[in-house]
């Protein structure tokens, strides 16, 4: 039976993807900062769901991940959905630093731990949510945009390293646009806002089909392709929120 660990499963895309994996017959280990928020998932299939409190910014997060893997009996897939982000036009210091800590250090800590586990246990699949925000530096969300670019580059580097080391580890970098999850709050003004369940289905499909990088959905694939072609002298003058 296939075994997956979902980090950031208490709400939003992590929660929806966990539900879809359960429907497909996976055995799950689900993690979030608040373990009580995971109980609804466990109630869906008590015999196939294990829970664990994991704060990715904590030094003991990798030990907690090891404990969860042991509970599940292995890890064929890591689905990583933990992260924070919002617009920060005032460049509020605490939020910028917390974003780097969570999306940068926390991401590196957990993805690295999963990679090392798979390197010594016959391989596996690491799928993580980065964002279209990492395509270019977005002035409305500086630390979020920068950390998402970091995540995408880190996954790309690990994929190359796995190939160099002849490790059977696959990667899927999932890049959604704006999704109606708690991360965005109650602001309805985001352009081309995506529905959570639809995005989760596309993510699981991308994982199952072995995509390396997948931008969700077609409108954002076109948008980000155009963004990459905009010269820096023009990009710095654009007002994108």
pLDDT at 192 (0 to 100): 74
Residue given tokens 């990459």 in the structure block: 228
CA–CA separation, 240 and 60 (whole Å) = 38
pLDDT in tens, the chain (241 residues): 799 999 999 999 999 999 999 999 999 999 999 888 899 999 999 999 999 999 999 999 999 999 999 999 999 999 999 999 988 999 999 999 999 999 999 999 999 999 999 999 999 999 999 999 999 999 999 999 999 999 999 999 999 999 999 999 999 999 998 877 655 555 556 667 788 999 999 999 999 999 999 999 899 999 999 999 999 999 999 988 7
Domains and CATH numbers, the chain: 3-235 (3.40.50.720)
What's the whole-model pTM score?
0.94
Torsion over CA: 40, 69, 54, 4 (sign)? negative
Cα–Cα distance, 219 to 239 (Å, whole number):
19
| Residue whose tokens read 């980090």 | 7
CA dist., res. 90 & res. 105, Å (int): 23
Contacts with 65 (C-beta within 8 Å, 6 or more apart), sequence order: 5, 7, 31, 52, 54, 110, 113, 114
């Amino acid at each position: 039976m296939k075994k997956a660990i979902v980090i950031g499963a208490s709400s939003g895309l992590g929660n929806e993807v966990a539900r879809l994996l359960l429907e497909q017959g996976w055995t799950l280990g689900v993690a979030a900062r608040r373990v009580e928020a995971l109980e609804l998932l466990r109630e869906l299939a008590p015999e196939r769901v294990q829970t664990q409190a994991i704060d990715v910014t904590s030094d003991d997060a990798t030990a907690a991940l090891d404990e969860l893997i042991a509970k599940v009996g292995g890890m064929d897939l890591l689905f990583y959905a933990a992260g924070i982000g919002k617009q920060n036009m005032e460049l509020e210091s605490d939020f910028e630093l917390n974003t780097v800590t969570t999306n940068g250090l926390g991401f590196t800590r957990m993805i690295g731990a999963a990679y090392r586990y798979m390197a010594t246990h016959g391989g596996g699949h690491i799928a993580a949510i980065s964002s279209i925000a990492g395509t270019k530096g977005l002035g409305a969300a500086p630390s979020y945009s920068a950390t998402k670019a970091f995540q995408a580059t880190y996954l790309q580097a690990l994929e190359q390293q796995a190939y160099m080391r002849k490790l059977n580890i696959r990667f899927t970098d999932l890049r959604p646009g704006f999704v109606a999850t708690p991360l965005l709050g109650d602001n309805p003004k985001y352009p081309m806002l995506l529905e959570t369940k639809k995005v989760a289905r596309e993510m699981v499909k991308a994982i199952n089909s072995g995509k390396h990088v997948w931008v969700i959905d077609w409108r954002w694939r076109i948008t980000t392709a155009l963004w990459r072609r905009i010269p820096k002298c023009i990009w710095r003058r654009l007002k994108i929120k």
